[in-house]
């Protein structure tokens, strides 16, 4: 498993800094009026605000966006109002089907369908009608050729996409690569995992931001000690840290 993007979208109000907390440390650039908003957030101190007039984030072209095996893409979404237009969430492509081998998460207003699309290969999608002012957990996973979309931990749709996601184009958040279908709302806790489908059945969405936790062995647990303040210690143990994946 490799976590190649993790945006907590925290910071001071109106900041345009969106550091990537994954090991890839991609440079994420805020375009137009995309900014941190501290008034509404799912976790932490803020979320990414897009006003529906062309605000978006970009990360440079990278092989990290080539999803040629199992993967997980998930984020939190809060529409400002009940959507009345197409809204693009995240991806390397656009609603016009280019470039070939790119991928995108988009909701089509005309059909009400929430889609995960691989341009030139196929798509998975079903009707979803989000309500303005409500936070949702949105995810797509692939295990083998089986792709699923989840809303708040419940499978919205599933299907087969056998073709590879081969495009390493610029990653867009909040607008398509052709600068159409702008998002009107907030995004928080954006994550891309390569090499793992974190969820393949209905699940309970995470209740805290993704972060570092320690792994301890059974032997270490047996030697667990507490100091006078109640803090845990593993004498002589080396802690291994990894990024929480579910």
pLDDT at 230 over 80: no
Higher pLDDT, residue 181 or 164:
181
Domain extent for 222: 212-243
Q: Is 227 contained in some domain?
A: yes
Q: Is 122 contained in some domain?
A: yes
Say whether both 106 and 169 belong to one domain.
yes
Cα separation, 88 vs 176, in Å, equals 6
Positive or negative: CA dihedral 148, 154, 157, 159:
positive
What is the mean predicted confidence (pLDDT) over 72-87?
95
Q: Are 154 and 137 in contact (CB under 8 A)?
A: no
Q: Is 48 contained in some domain?
A: yes
Say whether both 16 and 97 belong to one domain.
yes
Say whether both 163 and 238 belong to one domain.
no
For the stretch 13-69, pLDDT in tens is 999 999 999 999 999 999 999 999 999 999 999 999 999 999 999 999 999 999 989
Say whether both 218 and 188 belong to one domain.
no
Q: Is 206 contained in some domain?
A: no
Say whether both 32 and 136 belong to one domain.
yes
Q: Among 4-13, 71-80, 132-141, 226-235, which is the least confidently predicted range?
A: 226-235
| Residues 6+ positions from 75 with CB-CB distance below 8 Å | 89, 90, 137, 138, 139, 187, 188, 189, 190, 191
pLDDT at 215 over 60: no
Say whether both 52 and 142 belong to one domain.
yes
Say whether both 132 and 181 belong to one domain.
yes
Say whether both 37 and 92 belong to one domain.
yes
Residue-level pLDDT at 66: 95
Cα separation, 35 vs 42, in Å, equals 15
Say whether both 119 and 225 belong to one domain.
no
Domain count, the chain: 2
Say whether both 184 and 66 belong to one domain.
yes
pLDDT at 216 over 70: no
pLDDT at 222 over 70: no
Say whether both 164 and 229 belong to one domain.
no
Could you write out the DSSP letters of every residue in 175-239?
S-TTS-S--EEEEEEEEEEES--S-SS--PPPSS---EEEE--HHHHHT-EE-TT--EE-TTPPP
What is residue 165's three-state secondary structure? coil
For the stretch 157-167, pLDDT in tens is 999 988 778 99
Say whether both 235 and 153 belong to one domain.
no
Average pLDDT of the chain is 88
pLDDT at 12 over 80: yes
pLDDT at 99 over 70: yes
Residue-level pLDDT at 100: 87
Residue-level pLDDT at 86: 94
* Cβ count within 10 A of residue 188: 24
């Amino acid at each position: 498993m490799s976590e190649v993007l993790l945006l907590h979208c925290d910071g001071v109000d109106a900041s345009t800094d969106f550091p990537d907390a994954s090991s890839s440390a991609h440079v994420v650039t805020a375009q137009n009026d995309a900014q941190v908003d501290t008034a509404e957030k799912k976790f932490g101190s803020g979320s990414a605000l897009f006003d529906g007039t062309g605000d978006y984030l970009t990360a440079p072209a990278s092989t990290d966006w080539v999803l040629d095996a199992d993967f997980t893409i998930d984020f939190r979404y809060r529409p400002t109002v009940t959507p009345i237009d197409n809204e693009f969430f995240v991806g390397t492509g656009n609603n016009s089907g280019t470039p070939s081998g790119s991928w995108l998460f988009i909701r089509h207003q005309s059909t009400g369908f929430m889609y995960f699309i691989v341009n030139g290969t196929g798509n998975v999608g079903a009707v979803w009608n989000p309500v303005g002012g409500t936070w949702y957990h949105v995810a797509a996973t692939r295990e083998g050729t089986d792709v699923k979309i989840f809303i708040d931990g419940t499978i919205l749709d599933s299907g087969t996409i056998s073709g590879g996601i081969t495009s390493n184009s610029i990653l867009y958040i909040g607008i398509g690569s052709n600068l159409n279908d702008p998002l009107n709302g907030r995004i928080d806790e954006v994550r891309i995992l390569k090499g793992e489908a974190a969820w393949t059945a209905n699940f309970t969405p995470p209740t805290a931001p993704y972060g570092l936790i320690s792994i301890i062995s059974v032997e270490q647990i047996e030697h667990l000690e507490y100091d006078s303040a109640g803090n845990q210690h593993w004498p002589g143990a080396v802690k291994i840290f990894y990024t929480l994946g579910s």
